[in-house]
């Protein structure tokens, strides 16, 4: 039995680090929490999760779960939540959890709060703070009923320490023959990259509309990111124009990042983009328009043509 | 094939962009992701794969303007479920389920998120309630096998993914699916004459109460305005010295 069940996401080799940040909220909520991981061939991933202070690591390991199909996954997650008697089902905001957890919430007949930034206690009951309207407003939400589903913003919660005495891993058994079968996995784009993951990187370099095409984008944005051993991001305008793949998009409707250093190249600073970068420690903006809104929130702003500035910057970093 | 498109009326996101902060009274528009859903339904009908497109929204009569816009884009028939409460995504999903059971569409296409509330829940909840397959964050839709299945490309954190789903199903749209057409003035004039069917939750035999409530709202702390630097060298010096990030 566990008060809270935390869904952990993985890439088949490792648990995704941002998905561990939900554990920090589970600790703040108090009570026992179990971790749940679904997939196929999970032994090593499960073993890597035993020291996070959970009462158990539940492992739903089955060929039918080899691909994250929402209908099957939600069914298994809900069964696990019921068996644990969990009042709170938790995950970290990502396209994986956004796909699966609202479906699980409906099956649990429970309301859901997306993108929790913090919990607040008012009159002995807990409410949740979350961003709305592209992060321009923070709302405090009260939830009724005894069950709820939450996703957290990884950037708003610290990584949990892995220093607890190891807990047991339990195989979570379910009837695979009764899983829904209306969804079939066909393929996933394979793109090898030596760059760090966007949501985990210490440095992120992003490019906007004036990067023109794939080649220029890769040479300037990719080149600067490599010089700094950082990740590459993009605005919606750059993704729409096919300069960068969709998973590079940062912002309200893309990824949320909070690196030590964020460098915005030719980015105007629309609120939809700023929503995804606000919590970065240092923001550098390079833009030829001195009135670009991005300068109002950049720690350091440099006015000028990125086509001249970026090669100089790469050169300077490489030389030092 | 019958396509049902639920849509929401939201404050114009471009208004807020221009003003730098939400204007006092921004005009309302169809949620951009839902507009993409409507556009996709129109294209499916234009390729001869759909016979009817039904648009549905929930709200008081103030949202009729967005319903007119949907009709002007080319939606065949529009329904407004008359409910002016501050509903949460789960309540919306339960109301839509009742309507879908009545309308029996072959496919439901809707936005992945509303840009005011940013919850990204309704489509997935609806699929769960109906026990239907779902394809979320979709940037391409093709119907297969005599329209009994759909092959959908999804935009995920790890890049594009392709799934095949059996119909009926719920599909939620991402930005790259299409670029919605502009509404023409004659289209808008014509839409003024199309009827809007109005239904109540009672008529749909659904009783819902939102389980989440907003207690308060506030503005997030502003980032302090930074410093201008005049050269690449000065920038490097700041990043090394003051910011200690290199
Ligand atoms: C529903 C919806 C969701 C959205 N979601 C997102 C999202 O998640 N993420 C996102 O990023 N956007 C999103 N947007 C889009 C957002 O509103 C902006 O349109 C977008 O962020 C602008 O991208 P940009 O800054 O690259 O382009 P622009 O706004 O066109 O800015 C380009 C900038 O480059 C500068 N520039 C031009 N040439 C040079 C040069 N040679 N050297 C230096 N600077 C130069 C210009 O001065 C300008 O400031 C969304 C919009 C909507 C409606």
pLDDT of residue B184: 87
Which class would CATH give A203-319? alpha beta
Residue A89 to residue B125: CA distance in whole angstroms: 15
Full residue range of the structural domain in which residue B32 is found: 2-212
pLDDT block averages, 10 residues each, chain A of length 320? 97 96 97 98 98 98 98 98 98 98 98 98 90 96 96 97 98 97 96 91 98 98 98 98 97 98 98 96 98 96 98 95
Domain membership of residue B225 (yes or no) is no
- The CATH number that domain A4-178 falls under is 3.40.50.620
Q: What are phi and psi of B206, to 5 degrees?
A: -130, 130
- Do the domains at A4-178 and A203-319 have one common CATH topology? yes
Listed by number, the residues of chain B in 74-103 with a beta carbon closer than 8 Å to a beta carbon of chain A are 88-90, 93
Could you tell me what percent of chain B has a pLDDT over 90? 88
Residue B107 to residue A218: CA distance in whole angstroms: 39
Q: Would you list the DSSP string of A274-318?
A: HTTTTT-SEEEEEES-TT-GGGGT-SEEEES-HHHHHHHHHHHHH
List pLDDT tens digits, range B64-120: 999 999 999 999 999 999 999 999 999 999 999 999 999 999 999 999 999 999 999
Mutation to probe ligand 1, out of B17, B175, B177 (largest number of atoms < 8 A from CB): B175
pLDDT of residue A192: 82
- Confidence check: pLDDT of B224 > 90: no
If one counts the domains in chain B, the total is 1
List pLDDT tens digits, range B17-60: 544 454 456 789 999 999 999 999 999 999 999 999 999 999 99
For residue B111, what are the β-bridge partners?
Answer: B173
- For residue A202, how many other CB atoms are within 10 A of its CB? 14
Range with lowest mean pLDDT among A141-145, B148-152, B219-223 = B219-223
The Å distance, Cα A226 to ligand 1 centre, comes to: 23
Do B205 and B97 touch, CB atoms closer than 8 A? no
pLDDT of residue A283: 98
Q: Do A283 and B223 touch (CB under 8 A)?
A: yes
| Residue ranges of domains in chain A | 4-178, 203-319
Measure B74 CA to nearest chain A CA, in Å. 25
Domain membership of residue B245 (yes or no) is no
Measure B190 CA to nearest chain A CA, in Å. 32
Contact residues of ligand 1, CB 6 A cut-off: A 208-210, 235-238, 249-254, 266-268, 270, 272-273, 287-289, 292, 305-307; B 13, 17, 32, 115
List pLDDT tens digits, range A268-277: 999 999 999 9
The Å distance, Cα A271 to ligand 1 centre, comes to: 10
Average pLDDT of the residues of chain B: 94
CATH at B78:
3.40.50.620
A180 HSE (CA, 13 A, CB side)? 23
Domain membership of residue B136 (yes or no) is yes
- Reference A259, options A300, A287, A230, A286; nearest CA is A230
B219–A contact, CB cutoff 8 A: yes
pLDDT of residue B19: 44
pTM above 0.95, yes or no: yes
């Amino acid at each position: 039995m566990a008060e809270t069940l935390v869904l952990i996401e993985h890439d088949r080799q490792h648990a995704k680090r941002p998905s561990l940040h939900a554990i920090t909220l589970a600790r703040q909520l108090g009570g026992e929490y179990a971790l749940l991981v679904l997939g196929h061939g999970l032994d090593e991933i499960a073993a890597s999760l035993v020291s996070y202070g959970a009462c158990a690591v539940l492992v739903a390991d089955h060929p039918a779960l080899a691909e994250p199909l929402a209908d099957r996954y939600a069914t298994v997650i809900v069964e696990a939540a019921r068996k644990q008697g969990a009042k709170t089902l938790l995950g970290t905001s990502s396209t994986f959890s956004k796909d699966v957890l609202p479906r699980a919430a409906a099956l649990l007949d429970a309301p859901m709060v997306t993108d929790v930034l913090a919990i607040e206690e008012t009159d002995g009951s807990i409410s949740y703070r979350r961003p709305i309207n592209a992060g321009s407003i923070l709302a405090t939400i009260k939830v009724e009923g005894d069950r709820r589903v939450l996703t957290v913003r990884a950037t708003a919660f610290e990584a949990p320490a892995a220093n607890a005495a190891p807990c047991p891993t339990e195989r979570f058994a379910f009837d695979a023959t009764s899983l829904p079968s209306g969804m079939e996995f066909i393929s996933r784009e394979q793109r090898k990259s030596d760059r760090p993951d966007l949501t985990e990187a210490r440095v992120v370099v992003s490019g906007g509309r004036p990067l023109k095409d794939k080649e220029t984008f890769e040479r300037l944005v990719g080149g600067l990111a490599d010089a700094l051993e950082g990740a590459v991001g993009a605005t919606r305008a750059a993704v729409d124009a096919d300069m960068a793949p969709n998973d590079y998009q940062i912002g309200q409707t893309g990824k949320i990042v909070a690196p030590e250093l964020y460098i915005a190249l030719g980015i105007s600073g629309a609120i939809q983009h700023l929503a995804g970068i606000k919590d970065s420690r240092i923001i550098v903006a390079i833009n030829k328009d001195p009135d670009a809104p991005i300068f109002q929130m950049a720690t350091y702003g440099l006015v000028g043509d990125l086509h001249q500035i970026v090669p100089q910057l790469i050169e300077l970093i490489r030389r030092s | 094939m019958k396509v049902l498109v639920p849509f929401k009326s939201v404050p114009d996101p471009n208004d807020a962009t221009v003003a730098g902060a939400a204007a006092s009274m921004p005009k309302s528009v169809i949620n951009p992701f839902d507009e993409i859903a409507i556009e996709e339904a129109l294209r499916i009908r234009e390729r001869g794969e759909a016979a009817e497109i039904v648009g549905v929204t929930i709200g008081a009569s103030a949202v009729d303007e967005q319903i007119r816009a949907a009709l002007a884009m080319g939606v065949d028939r529009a329904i407004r479920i008359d409910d002016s409460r501050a509903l949460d995504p789960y309540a919306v999903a339960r109301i839509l389920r009742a309507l879908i059971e009545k309308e029996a569409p072959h496919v439901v296409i809707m936005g992945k998120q509303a840009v005011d509330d940013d919850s990204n829940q309704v489509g997935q909840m609806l699929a769960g309630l109906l026990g239907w397959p779902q394809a979320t964050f979709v940037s391409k839709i093709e119907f297969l096998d005599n329209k009994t299945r759909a092959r959908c490309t999804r935009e995920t954190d790890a890049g594009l993914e392709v799934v095949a789903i059996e119909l009926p199903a719920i599909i939620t749209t991402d930005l790259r699916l299409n670029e919605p057409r502009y509404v023409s003035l004659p289209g808008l004039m014509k839409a003024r004459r199309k009827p809007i069917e109005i239904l109540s939750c009672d008529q749909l035999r659904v009783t819902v109460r939102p389980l989440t409530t907003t207690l308060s709202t506030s503005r997030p702390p502003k980032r302090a305005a930074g410093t201008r630097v005049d050269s690449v060298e000065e920038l490097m010096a700041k990043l090394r010295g003051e910011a200690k990030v290199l």
